[in-house]
Structure 1
Amino acid sequence: MADTPTVGRRTVLQAAFTAPAVAALTATTAPEASARTSPRDPDDPRFTIAVLPDTQYLLDEGGSDPEPVRHTLRALLQRPDVVFLAHLGDVTEHGTESEMRTADAVFRTIDGRMPYSVLAGNHDVPGGTDDQRAATPYSRTFPPGRFSRMGTSAGFDAKGYNSFHVIRAGGRQWLLLALDWRVSDQGIRWAQQVIDRHPTLPVVLTTHDLVSADDGDAVLSEHGRRLWDGLVRRNDQVFLTLNGHYWPPGRTTLTNDHGNAVHLHITNYQDRYYGGAGMVRFYTFDLARGVIDVETCSPWLLTRGSTVPEVETARLTGDADRFSVPIDFRARFAGFAPPALPAARPASAVLVKDTAAYWRFDADGLRAAGTDGGPVAPGSVARDLTGRGNDLTVELIGAAGPEVLTWSADHHDTAPAHASLRFGGGHGPDRGAILRAAPKAPVNSARFESGYTIETFLKLPEPFEGDHAFMGVLSWEGRSGDAGKSSGWSPEEPTCSLNVSGERFLQFVVYPVPTDADPTSWSHAVPTGRWTHVAVVNDGRRTTMYVDGAKISRNASEESKGISTLGKPFVIGATQFALRYGHGFYGWIGDTRIVARALRPAEFLTAVPGR
């Protein structure tokens, strides 16, 4: 902590992708570390970095108790999700040889068993010096050689007060910079060299003094402003900074020179009961959900009694201690590490056995494919790439203008074609666009009594504006009543359709061939602003819907064999009711395939060879 502290508080594909291998910049290079006993999958999109702030009041030769810190370190060894521990400085109160001997003994708890970093705070070294100082009890206790058994330790500066670490987690590598409490110009140049030699790695910067807080958003300290201007703001790779020194905890978000957010957090609990009681903060990265979940507790106090100070301090749940930071990791890192996405696949790669129809909207499947955002004119043809004659022709509904259907280069990461169609939506029979099969196309009359799989990719706009309740994704035209079906609701709906409800639930409703029922499956609310893969699989007896490869819960319980088609056209982009089109689709639709048998998820269009 500072001699005169200030006070305050406040609040990351489809995501995981592989980054290029790291090239190490070292003043001291570390060999491979001995592994932790707990197994961990380095490709798991969920992992945790633990943060341990100022422990100085517990490592004080004037009278303290190192056990809470030791207990915290032992507790971390029991959590296989914790991939790294970052200490934020002020390890000890006075930085004496005696205190450093205690610190040495405490950190031996995890030496060789968990990778970690430490950095000097103003209580660990002479406060008036910077990172060019001579050797100190701190630097002799935590020299580069101490970290040589850690596979993450990648290098130190010449004086040994600044270090960097490369962490493999979430299917990629991350760079953690551990900088001295007072970084000199030489230190900033060294840190810039480290970042420059690892140009594709996202950076977490840790130091002792960067922001403070006072009843709200954190603000840059004087030294923090120097670090921000001299290093952080110009390096887009730095997306998160962590520091101690001041209390209370707080956070803020600043915009760097590249127009991207940088999250700056202060965490320090030495003012709390028992000198902070070994308080640790967990930063749990969830790349699949696009968020960092943060929680704070004292593992030592969680095992103890129920006195008021212990209970109040054991687990902290205030806004500054327990929160989430939403981050679109892919978009945030795109400027320096664009994702390695699968290449487009030719139609021949996905024309599996029994494919009845396959449409895609790149140049192979749609001759009108061209300029992103350009209109797709009525009469344009999306070819059935099976060659079975199920070509679809673009038609506009009612008074719709050319903007109601446009070509787009946007696509699901794993879609075979890197293209889609953007439907402008519409309510009632006066606005919309459809792709309609010719009157005698085979798909119009196919009944699929041995089973079927219908797949498509769709994306709803963000924000999702207007009334688009029960807009159609795809359907067969006609009235269920004309097929002799009367489910008790209405004979006016078609015999098979995939729709999106007002709550954004996917609805697949089908009238089977032999029975007078309408088995309907309902998904959860699908997200906006993100591509979704939908597959409806029927094995000749039951229908199962999958969303992004996951089976939904509200699949129809009735038996369902085939589709009671009437020979009426198959359509993408809307659903009829009483032979009139209702809400036209609002959003993007990509590759669409119908297979005359039940496919396994491993056979869906999302199955990219080698991934």
Structure 2
Amino acid sequence: MAGRSRRGFLRGAALAGAGAAVVGAGAAVAGAQPALAADAAGQRRGGKWDPDPTSLQFTVAVMPDTQFLYWGSQDSVDRTPQEESFRYIIDNSGNPDLNIVFMAHLGDMTQDADPSSFEEVDKAFALLDAHGAAYSVVAGNHDLSGDDTRGDTTYLRTMGPRRFKKSRTFAGADATGYNTAHIFQAAGRSWLLLALDWRTTDQGFAWANEVIRAHAKMPVIITTHDMVWSTYDDNVFPYESGDPENNAGLSEHGQKVWDELVEDNDQVFLTVNGHYWPPGRTTKKNAAGNDVHLHLANYQNRYFGGGGMIRLYHFDLARDTIDVETINPWVLAQDPASRNELAAELSRVSGPVDNFSVPVDFEKRFSGFDPVPVRPARPAARVLVKGTQAYWRFDGQGADGTALAEGHRVRDLSGRGNDLTVVSMPGSAADALTWSADHHPDQPGHASLRFAGGRGPVHGAYLTTGASAPLNRETFRSGYTIEAFVRMPLDWDAGRNGNASFLSRRGRAGAAGKHGKNTDPDEPVAQFAITNNGREPQFNHYPTNNTYPTTNWGHGLVELRWWHLAVVNDGRFTRLYVEGAPVADNPRRLSVGLSSLGLPWLVGGHEYAGAIDVVFHGNVGDIRIVNRPLGAREFLTAK
């Protein structure tokens, strides 16, 4: 869109009706194509289009209005900025830090829709074609007029479906050719991107709805030229938008897109458009009650018509976040000393509407149309690996919320006789220990115990092995692996619940002959606990070869999340793992075995000076103790 202060232009434009027959979309998916020795313009050797389709981190690049670079009727054409951005996209498709998997142009490729302008646009996009890059385009109001029933145009002949006939990501077009579908691979799944005309009609929406239904498990991104407009003044530089997370509203056409396509299709989670400025974003709830992020990106009113600026959507499914940044590869490729002042300002745009992060719980957000299969429970026999000395799990023994009474017994499924018995602290509530259906998603047993314990005064219930249990005497001189699943509730408190063990071995360190640095003679000889320092897991133990302890510390664990914790000793050194990842504080100290006074092990109880001083608060799932070191691929969480 040309000129300033016209962000409302055409919001109220009349919409044309009618529509052609709907055509289906194929199931083409993204894949790498051989890189060419030189780009289409013969300028310089480019990178290989080679994104990693399995990485949980990937990037979708968006390029808004580049119209001021292509004004052929005025003999004002400069492909250089756009081509530099294309080179950046190509070169960084194989960069694991960026992993650019797709590029979407948001329309207004030209200022005048002149055939000579599109000839130059064709040459620029040939660079992407020559390297097999995955991309989409849409028409903007400066590329053509009317709605998607307009028939033949220079845009359609240049950038229409015929251009994508060799593209592995092209999934089809409607009968008009102005609305297209693209499927790319990222994070081990397929993603559908719909590139819609700037004035999609009823037939176009019918086609788009059909495409979404035909790919019912794919998350959907919609790109179009006109969807939301910025609701704050555009004459402030740098942009100051008040509320950076809610400064855009639906245009008239955008409202139609929402009503006809977005609101009732839960698969649509993100829309991006250009046309208006300054940039903006907002979030709306769809019919399913889920967030849809609506973003506006446009920099044509900046120096050099935006200079081929691109916005990078960095998806990180491990962090459940989309990090957004806006850069100008054309300026970044220049020698910093040679950049003029305006170009330097354009290299990176760092305002709150240009660089921001969007938290998205991808699994939860997509669960309505593509739920993650629940991993089934695994029978005990499948996880009784060689050397298992004890295996306790809590499924099949009671209904959710049922209390465990004093004296209740939980069997040791290893068959070695290390059964557990419930012990209640005097004065504790009847429901201080209950069965729970909650469990870690990768836990073999689909249940846990919920401990409602604490100190001040000491209250709750715990479990203990019998006085003659063989596990009591085991010293594990050849190594060991101890695994447990734990979860802390929101009301976990450092003062009441900190330094409480979910698994410990009774017996005072002093009584075991321990002394020296960091030794507390009244603490137990082994304790696997959650400390009061930010809910950090700690394994503090007195090995058989030392008179002082070895302590392994992990990082802080958030509440209401299940955690798999494991301690592995290979006969020499001990390592603590959180969710299969080794922690930083794993001392390189020779630590052979575990000291023993032949006393019981406790689940959920912690003693000090020979008496229970605190009971665990939270859930504890399966616990397995093995008399040899296991690799992470042998943990209870292994697939």
Q: TM-score, normalised by structure 2?
A: 0.88
Shift of 1:536: 0.5
| Structure-2 residue corresponding to 1:173 | 190
Rounded Cα–Cα distance in structure 2 between residues aligned with 1:359 and 1:221: 59
Q: Does 1:206 align with 2:206?
A: no
Q: Does 1:60 align with 2:71?
A: yes
Q: Does 1:98 align with 2:128?
A: no
Shift of 1:25: 7.2
Asked if 1 retains the 8 angstrom alpha-carbon contact of 2:606 and 2:614, the reply is yes
Asked if 2 retains the 8 angstrom alpha-carbon contact of 1:541 and 1:561, the reply is yes
Shift of 1:38: 4.6
Shift of 1:230: 2.2
Q: TM-score, normalised by structure 1?
A: 0.91
Partner residue of 1:223 out of 250, 253, 258: 253
Does 213-222 or 66-75 show the bigger shift? Answer: 213-222
1:420 is matched by which residue type in structure 2?
S
* Cα 1:463/1:429, change in 2 over 3 Å: closer
Q: Secondary structure at the match of 1:430?
A: coil
| Structure-1 residue corresponding to 2:166 | 149
Q: Secondary structure at the match of 1:69?
A: helix
Q: Does 1:44 align with 2:44?
A: no
Q: Does 1:506 align with 2:537?
A: yes
Shift of 1:53: 0.7
| Structure-1 residue corresponding to 2:102 | 84
Q: What does residue range 232-251 of structure 1 map to in structure 2 within 5 Å?
A: 232-251=262-281
Shift of 1:490: 2.0
> RMSD of the TM alignment (CA)?
2.1
1:290 is matched by which residue type in structure 2?
D
| Structure-1 residue corresponding to 2:432 | 404
1:40 is matched by which residue type in structure 2?
P
Rounded Cα–Cα distance in structure 2 between residues aligned with 1:462 and 1:51: 40
Asked if 2 retains the 8 angstrom alpha-carbon contact of 1:244 and 1:267, the reply is yes
Partner residue of 1:320 out of 350, 353, 365: 353
Post-superposition CA distance 1:300-326 (Å, at most 9, x none): 101223321111110112211111111
What stretches of structure 2 of length at least 5 have no aligned partner?
9-21, 35-47, 233-240
Asked if 1 retains the 8 angstrom alpha-carbon contact of 2:23 and 2:207, the reply is no
Q: Secondary structure at the match of 2:81?
A: helix
Partner residue of 2:128 out of 104, 110, 119: 110
Rounded Cα–Cα distance in structure 1 between residues aligned with 2:616 and 2:459: 10
| Structure-2 residue corresponding to 1:339 | 372
Rounded Cα–Cα distance in structure 2 between residues aligned with 1:244 and 1:427: 59
Q: Does 1:450 align with 2:478?
A: yes
| Structure-2 residue corresponding to 1:20 | none
Post-superposition CA distance 1:414-472 (Å, at most 9, x none): 22122222223422453223122122111122111111110112223357556432121
Shift of 1:507: 1.0
Q: Secondary structure at the match of 2:133?
A: coil
Shift of 1:342: 3.0
Asked if 1 retains the 8 angstrom alpha-carbon contact of 2:25 and 2:211, the reply is no
Asked if 2 retains the 8 angstrom alpha-carbon contact of 1:429 and 1:580, the reply is no
Does 390-399 or 223-232 show the bigger shift? Answer: 390-399
2:287 is matched by which residue type in structure 1?
D
Partner residue of 2:388 out of 350, 355, 360: 355
Asked if 2 retains the 8 angstrom alpha-carbon contact of 1:28 and 1:144, the reply is no
Q: Does 1:435 align with 2:463?
A: yes
| Structure-2 residue corresponding to 1:17 | none
* Cα 1:100/1:472, change in 2 over 3 Å: same
| Structure-2 residue corresponding to 1:483 | 512
Q: Secondary structure at the match of 2:294?
A: strand
Shift of 1:219: 1.4
Rounded Cα–Cα distance in structure 2 between residues aligned with 1:379 and 1:606: 31
Rounded Cα–Cα distance in structure 2 between residues aligned with 1:314 and 1:138: 30
Asked if 2 retains the 8 angstrom alpha-carbon contact of 1:449 and 1:540, the reply is yes
Asked if 2 retains the 8 angstrom alpha-carbon contact of 1:341 and 1:413, the reply is yes
| Structure-2 residue corresponding to 1:73 | 86
Ranked by relative contact order (alpha carbons within 8 Å, sequence separation 6 or more), the top structure is 1
Asked if 2 retains the 8 angstrom alpha-carbon contact of 1:27 and 1:158, the reply is no
Q: Does 1:123 align with 2:142?
A: yes
Q: Does 1:5 align with 2:6?
A: yes
Rounded Cα–Cα distance in structure 2 between residues aligned with 1:340 and 1:456: 23
Asked if 2 retains the 8 angstrom alpha-carbon contact of 1:519 and 1:557, the reply is no
Asked if 2 retains the 8 angstrom alpha-carbon contact of 1:480 and 1:492, the reply is yes
Rounded Cα–Cα distance in structure 2 between residues aligned with 1:357 and 1:87: 59
Q: Does 1:261 align with 2:274?
A: no
Shift of 1:376: 3.6
Rounded Cα–Cα distance in structure 2 between residues aligned with 1:320 and 1:398: 59
1:49 is matched by which residue type in structure 2?
V
1:160 is matched by which residue type in structure 2?
G
Q: What does residue range 205-604 of structure 1 map to in structure 2 within 5 Å?
A: 205-213=222-230, 214=232, 215=241, 216=243, 217-304=247-334, 305-363=338-396, 367-368=397-398, 370-371=399-400, 373-462=401-490, 467=495, 468-488=497-517, 489-502=519-532, 503-604=534-635
| Structure-2 residue corresponding to 1:16 | none
Q: Secondary structure at the match of 1:310?
A: helix
* Cα 1:183/1:67, change in 2 over 3 Å: same
Rounded Cα–Cα distance in structure 1 between residues aligned with 2:467 and 2:415: 16
1:59 is matched by which residue type in structure 2?
Y
* Cα 1:57/1:596, change in 2 over 3 Å: same
* Cα 1:202/1:470, change in 2 over 3 Å: same
Rounded Cα–Cα distance in structure 1 between residues aligned with 2:116 and 2:548: 81
Shift of 1:384: 0.8
Rounded Cα–Cα distance in structure 2 between residues aligned with 1:537 and 1:220: 56
What stretches of structure 1 of length at least 5 have no aligned partner?
8-23
Post-superposition CA distance 1:310-356 (Å, at most 9, x none): 11110112211111111111111111111134322111111111110
* Cα 1:583/1:300, change in 2 over 3 Å: farther
Rounded Cα–Cα distance in structure 2 between residues aligned with 1:296 and 1:559: 51
Q: Secondary structure at the match of 2:346?
A: helix
Shift of 1:153: 0.8
% identical equivalent positions: 48
Post-superposition CA distance 1:94-144 (Å, at most 9, x none): 222111111111100011511100011111111xx2222211111111121
* Cα 1:193/1:583, change in 2 over 3 Å: farther
Q: Secondary structure at the match of 2:222?
A: strand
